[in-house]
Chains A and B, each alone.
Chain A
Amino acid sequence: DGGITQSPKYLFRKEGQNVTLSCEQNLNHDAMYWYRQDPGQGLRLIYYSQIVNDFQKGDIAEGYSVSREKKESFPLTVTSAQKNPTAFYLCASRQAGALETQYFGPGTRLLVL
């Protein structure tokens, strides 16, 4: 079964805690992306990576960190510096090519205790 998996489906964070969201794809896609979705605000780009061991900040990178050590994996860490982390987090991937579209995973909902 090819696709993008995100885990966990729900994640709870305590104040001052760092949490890591997992994103794995077996589509052999080169590029991977992290978005944050809040009600009424659409999706906003946090970080993206076009190749292994390289990544760039998106529009709202503050309080987040990523790594891209393997082609199929792009974990996102929500640090304690992110003061409003409650949101729906979506991972996407894309095959290299000028107009290839992005395919999304099922998402992780992060809640603050």
Chain B
Amino acid sequence: QQQVKQSPQSLIVQKGGISIINCAYENTAFDYFPWYQQFPGKGPALLIAIRPDVSEKKEGRFTISFNKSAKQFSLHIMDSQPGDSATYFCAASNGGGGNKLTFGTGTQLKVEL
């Protein structure tokens, strides 16, 4: 049972544009929602994370929007750059469940010049 659904699978954005990746979850016990960035052949690196008590969190060009009632959250990358080309994973965890992360299937982002 896939508990975190991520879309789109792949995304092409022009330099300077906005990249938007969406995730939806089913388990209402989830209480922590991180986004990871992964370059080919490397381990994922934490990008930004949000808790369900806030609706938005911004760090530089990266923003998470969170809709608790809809059980959805999204990553927005403003002013996308070629260096942002990577695979992005959303995830969710339940603090009472060993903080096990359930990952989405990933979005391959390509930022073109």
Chain A residues packing against B (C-beta within 8 Å): 4, 6, 31, 33, 40-45, 48, 50, 56, 58, 90, 92, 94, 98-107, 109
The verdict on B11 contacting chain A, using a C-beta distance below 8 Å, is no
Q: List 12 A-B contacts (CB under 8 A).
A: A33-B101, A43-B89, A43-B103, A50-B98, A98-B95, A98-B99, A99-B31, A99-B51, A100-B99, A104-B36, A104-B43, A106-B43
- Residues in chain A near residue B51, CB distance under 8 A: 99
Which residue of chain A has the shortest Cβ distance to B105 in the bound complex?
Answer: A42
How many pairs of residues, A versus B, come closer than 8 Å at their CB atoms? 60
- Residues in chain A near residue B105, CB distance under 8 A: 40-42
Please pick, from B9, B31, B36, B100, the residue contacting A48 in the complex, using a CB distance under 8 A: B100
Contact (Cβ within 8 A) B106 A42: yes
- Residues in chain A near residue B89, CB distance under 8 A: 42-43
CB distance from A53 to the nearest CB of B (A): 16
- Residues in chain B near residue A105, CB distance under 8 A: 43
- Residues in chain A near residue B45, CB distance under 8 A: 104
